[in-house]
Structure 1
Amino acid sequence: MPVLSDVISALDTLWPRERAEEWDAVGPVCGDPDAEVRRVMFAVDPVQGVVDEAVAIGADLLVTHHPLYLRGTTTVSADTFKGRVVHTLIRNGVALHVAHTNADRADPGVSDALAGALDLRVTGPLVPDPTDPQGRRGLGRLCELDRPLPLGEFTALVAARLPVTAQGVRSAGPPDKPIRTVAVCGGSGDGLFDRVRAAGVDAYVTADLRHHPVSEAREHAGDLALVDAAHWATEWPWCALAAAQLDTVSEREGWGLRTHVSHRVTDPWITHHPSLSSSEGAPN
């Protein structure tokens, strides 16, 4: 049976910490390096509900995509949300490890998992990692559909393949526009619009798209269709990919680890009410 330091070493091989963005906070958050690890749970967010689930299933290690302390802290007092998370983890012997932008850049990584969930064929990274001589690592992915779909149908496919959230999936562009080439980026992706335009794809699938960047992107590249899904939903497929990668390591090393993917929806939006179809309240 491996100890935590063995498993952390394997995770660092899959998602090297040095490939994370400088502002990021990745790697171990808490845990005894000499503690045995039998069960590992994967999730997007290190929130209390996820931590309680890890405790309930008997996990020894929780691996999340999002950091617990991205901007640092001066306290882990249990009267704060994050401090309570730390206390729950330590009290129950559960370690926490974060793989964030290092998992985004990985091959395969977060955007590969998103592309796989949408049945897209990956042709390369959207923003190649200059340190990768094979040109496979990097942010986002460029993809192709096996056959063109109208934007309306493609948007419906995205909605059907990703987990259900209150936001759902929305698109910008003519519903009948043919979609064959697609860029994807798990998580917030409006900072990559210049790269998407340069790639000349038909559509871009990402999350957290804001009014002004979307408006400008549509004006600059009016033929580019945009598909916006919930942040959590675009990154959750990575959890299954990551668990499968660790399973491969465990089988090779003879560890006998058991992995579990949390299906708890941690998207913060709870309800969604479509706008009324009447003109009441609309500006003149």
Structure 2
Amino acid sequence: MSVVQKTPINILQQAWKRIAPLELADNSWDNAPYPKNDAKKVLLTIDLTTDVCNEALDLEGCSLVVAYHPPNHHQTKNRSLKLSNTLQASLLKLSAKGISVFSPHTSLDSIEGGINSWLTTAFGSNLKSSTPLEPKFSSGSSVPAHLAGFEGAGMGRFVELHEGVEAAEAVRRIKGLLKLERVQYGAPAQESIIKTVAICAGSGGSMFKDVKADLYWTGEMGHHQALATTQAGSHVVLCHHTNTERGYLSAVLKDKLREELNAQEGQDGWEVVVSGKDRDPLLIV
């Protein structure tokens, strides 16, 4: 009886099914092919920039880049890639060296223990409850057997606090979790105690439209929506898009992915590295 050898493709597939199954993703955003070579080093990044591409090319034994954002996804789906396009050129350079790119954006957004759940930890033991703004599964509906354990999946998070906090304290906690010196803050005419928080990593404007909360926390929001929100008596904290996402790579995903890869039978030696070149393209100066 012959023994079927597990390939790195199988190994990553099995690991990712336990972390954030792709069935929970929004496939209009994500682009998640699996790696095709045998090295055992993974580079984590939010964006696949030219600097990150070069970092991967220089990283000995790198077989895979997990780029949270699908690189230039609006232009690459169902179209040819061109070296004249900087982001597409990075994909072509990595492909030529046998390095695959895997982009699990919204599956990591939606799971409990994912990016939005991680953001709720800013409130520590004062966190009373955390539920998705848009649940993946409706109340009372059956969850497929292979997604057992992911019943609480959904986009964004609505947080209730045990005890209300002043807005300045909420901002302090947000800065602390994200390791930021400055954020954008919008206050209503009369500041109030924060008891509920609507959270969405990245760009949360559309996620918040039917949600009432004391504080809305996201990476970016349009001017008119921010204005309407503060005029309606709520607070807004904006941290720039990727600043709400990047810390999750080091705080959670790095160790979780390494453990899942190495936990599989007959597997060891997998290494997961967080990019040192990945950063938000915008700075507050």
CA, structure 1 residues 22+63, in 2 after alignment: closer, same or farther (shift >3 Å)?
Answer: closer
* 8 A contact 1:125–1:135 mirrored in 2: no
Runs of 4+ in structure 1 over 6 Å off: none
Q: Secondary structure at the match of 2:174?
A: helix
CA, structure 1 residues 162+94, in 2 after alignment: closer, same or farther (shift >3 Å)?
Answer: same
* Cα distance between partner residues in 1 of 2:97 and 2:190: 51
- Give the equivalent residue in structure 2 for 1:6: 11
Show CA shifts across 1:137-188 (max 9, x none): 10111224565331123213322331448x7332333685322332211111
1:208 paired with 2:224, answer no
Q: Which amino acid aligns with 2:153?
A: R
Corresponding residue to 2:209 among 175, 185, 194: 194
Show CA shifts across 1:82-133 (max 9, x none): 2320232123332210011222112222201222355473522222112675
Q: Secondary structure at the match of 2:26?
A: coil
- Give the equivalent residue in structure 2 for 1:87: 92
Deviates more, 1:115-124 or 1:245-254: 115-124
Deviates more, 1:204-213 or 1:254-263: 254-263
* Cα distance between partner residues in 2 of 1:143 and 1:42: 28
Corresponding residue to 1:182 among 182, 197, 201: 197
* Cα distance between partner residues in 2 of 1:169 and 1:263: 25
CA, structure 1 residues 175+109, in 2 after alignment: closer, same or farther (shift >3 Å)?
Answer: farther
CA, structure 1 residues 163+48, in 2 after alignment: closer, same or farther (shift >3 Å)?
Answer: farther
* Cα distance between partner residues in 1 of 2:29 and 2:167: 35
- Give the equivalent residue in structure 1 for 2:147: none
* Cα distance between partner residues in 2 of 1:22 and 1:265: 24
Q: How does 1:69-88 map to 2 (within 5 A)?
A: 69-73=72-76, 74-88=79-93
1:250 paired with 2:261, answer yes
Deviation at 1:63, TM superposition (A): 0.3
- Give the equivalent residue in structure 2 for 1:143: 159
- Give the equivalent residue in structure 1 for 2:146: none
CA, structure 1 residues 259+174, in 2 after alignment: closer, same or farther (shift >3 Å)?
Answer: farther
Q: Which amino acid aligns with 1:100?
A: H
TM-score normalised to structure 1 length:
0.80
Identity among equivalent pairs (%): 22
- Give the equivalent residue in structure 1 for 2:183: 168
- Give the equivalent residue in structure 2 for 1:64: 67
Q: How does 1:23-172 map to 2 (within 5 A)?
A: 23-28=28-33, 31-32=35-36, 35-58=37-60, 59-73=62-76, 74-117=79-122, 119=124, 121=127, 123-130=130-137, 135-145=151-161, 147-164=163-180, 168-172=183-187
* Cα distance between partner residues in 2 of 1:123 and 1:4: 34
CA, structure 1 residues 140+38, in 2 after alignment: closer, same or farther (shift >3 Å)?
Answer: same
TM-score normalised to structure 2 length:
0.80
Q: Which amino acid aligns with 2:70?
A: P
* Cα distance between partner residues in 2 of 1:40 and 1:189: 29
* Cα distance between partner residues in 2 of 1:62 and 1:22: 19
Q: Which amino acid aligns with 2:137?
A: P
CA, structure 1 residues 248+173, in 2 after alignment: closer, same or farther (shift >3 Å)?
Answer: farther
* 8 A contact 1:202–1:224 mirrored in 2: yes
Structure 2: runs of 5 or more not aligned: 1-5, 144-149
CA, structure 1 residues 217+271, in 2 after alignment: closer, same or farther (shift >3 Å)?
Answer: closer
CA, structure 1 residues 203+161, in 2 after alignment: closer, same or farther (shift >3 Å)?
Answer: same
* Cα distance between partner residues in 2 of 1:262 and 1:15: 21
* Cα distance between partner residues in 2 of 1:111 and 1:185: 6
Q: Secondary structure at the match of 1:101?
A: helix
* Cα distance between partner residues in 2 of 1:39 and 1:174: 52
